[in-house]
Every structure is written in structure tokens, then in C-alpha cells.
Amino acid sequence: MKTETLHRREIWSRWLRVSHWTLALSTLALMATGWLVRHTPSVAQAAADWHYIAGSIFTLGLALRIWVMFSDRLMGRWPFLLADPEPKKMLQMLKFYLSFGKSTLPRWYAHNPFWLPIYLILFVLMALIAFTGHLQGAYPVVFGFYLPSLHAGIATLISLFVLGHVIAVVMHDLKGGGDDVSAMINGKRLFEVKPIPEQEISGVHKVSVDSLKSDRKQPTAPGEPKNDQDG
């Protein structure tokens, strides 16, 4: 009888995790202080001061994440954000979310196939919100755009992403068993190694034994020879 083993694989580098949590925590602070500035006049000035500090930290985190895109040794490099879309897995992920985790959770190695295109949009929005946030005080109108209104609109979109992202990763950990939350803390995801890759268990990430024995080669960037490591 063939046995199954669990294997932890390093996916996210230290600097990517630092940038992620810097952006995550500063975004939460920006959401809270931004709401206070708009809806609580009694503490608006103090909240605005903290909002500016959180915005500066957010900008540093974004700059670090951009640096990681070009220097990372694992999955944080920019080519992996431009990987070919996988419509079948994206549809399976959508079914998983709409069924509240009852349908099968598809396999993926690092970046969630459903969220991957959204990440690209998110980086553009984060760059825009940092730009408008730092300029709106001195230059409220740029190229005909009223920056405070643009800034508030982008902040709403990012807040919706944060809400969806938190719900999604909790569902993944509850239903998938891939340690998606802890992976962004320790850098490693959990995979189930099965001798027969065709034999699938719903909601559990799996990789083949051969791929895990192949000298720890990383998935390649677009245009490079591929190593089949879809986990």
C-alpha cells in the first residue's frame, strides 16, 4: 500500500513577506485613520497626522515590493505575475468561493490563479494611491483630476480588495489545508505528496513525488524552459 506524505516547500522569500506585511498593516492603519478623518471631526487632525505616517510606511512597503520583483530568488519576481492565465482553474476557484468552500479547491503552486490578474491591477492602484496621497495637499488638481476625490475612490477599491482577500485566505486555510495564511509568515506552503498524482482529494494541494525530488528547481519565467512543478 502506497503511503502519503506531507511536504513543506519554501515559496515566499523573507523580503517579500516583509513587504507584504508592511503593506498589509499600513493599509489597515490607512483605512482606519482615513475613516476617522472623514467621519469624526473631533479627532480628524490627529487622525490625519497618523494617516500621513501610515502613508509613508505604505510607500516604503510598496517600494520594497517593487524591488523584490526584480531581486527575489523565489516566486516574488515580476515574470510570475505575468504568467499565462489558467481559465479552468480560475473558474474552479470562482465555484469554490460561490459554494462557500464546498466545491473542489484546485491545485496551484504559489500565486492563486484567480487572484493573479487582480494583483496586477492592485499594484497599479497602490502606486496611484501613494502618488495622489502625497501630492493632494500641495497640488489638489493634476491634469484635470481632483486628487482628493481620486484618492478616496481608489481607497474604496483597495478596501474592497482587502475584505475579499481576508475572506479568501481564511477559506483556503479552513478548506484547503495548504497553510496559505502561515505561508506568508514562515514562507512555506504545505503540499500533499501522492505517488499517483491523478488520484485527487478535494480541497488539498498536491504535487508529484518526481517534482519534489528535482533538485528544488523553481518554476520558470515566461519564455524559459518549464519545470513541471504545479502543486
Full residue range of the structural domain in which residue 84 is found: 13-177
- Whether residue 132 lies inside any domain: the answer is yes
Reduced 3-state DSSP string for 40-106: CHHHHHHHHHHHHHHHHHHHHHHHHHHHHHHHCCCCCCHHHHHCCCCHHHHHHHHHHHHCCCCCCCC
- Neighbouring residues of 143: CB distance < 8 A, sequence distance ≥ 6: none
Residue 2 lies in a domain: no
Is the per-residue pLDDT at 45 higher than 60?
yes
Which cell goes with 154? 481608489
Evaluate if residue 127 carries a pLDDT over 80: yes
Question: 37-71 in b/e burial notation, b at 16+ Cβ within 10 A?
Answer: beeeeeeeeebeebbeebbebbbebbebbeebbee
- CATH code for position 26: 1.20.950.20
199: Cβ contacts below 8 Å, ≥ 6 apart? none
Among 181-185, 195-199, 223-227, top mean pLDDT goes to 181-185
Q: What's the mean per-residue pLDDT of the chain?
A: 82
**Is the pLDDT score of 209 beyond 60?**
no
| Arithmetic mean of pLDDT, 205-215 | 50
In the numeric block, which cell numbers belong to residue 145?
483630476
Looking at the domain assignment, is residue 5 inside a domain? no
Helices first, then strands: H and E counts in the chain? 7, 5
Residue 206 domain-assigned (yes or no): no
Assess if residue 88 is contained within a domain.
yes
Grid cell, residue 191, equals 503540499
How many domains does one find in the chain? 1
The residue that leads in pLDDT, 68 or 109, is 68
The amino acid at residue 114 is F
**Three cell numbers, residue 23:** 503593506
Flag whether pLDDT at 210 surpasses 50: yes
The residue among 218 and 9 whose pLDDT is bigger is: 9
Is residue 79, in this structure, part of any structural domain at all?
yes
For the beta carbon of residue 215, count every other beta carbon within 10 angstroms.
Answer: 5
Give pTM, 2 decimals.
0.77
CB neighbourhood size of 214 (10 A): 12
Strands (DSSP E) found in the chain:
5-10, 141-142, 145-146, 188-194, 206-208
Block residue for cell numbers 474592497:
160
Max mean pLDDT among 64-68, 85-89, 103-107, 164-168 falls in 64-68
Helix (H, G, I), strand (E, B) or coil at 189: strand
Is 44 contained in some domain? yes
For residue 178, the model assigns a pLDDT of: 60
Domain annotation covers residue 45: yes
Residue-level pLDDT at 8: 77
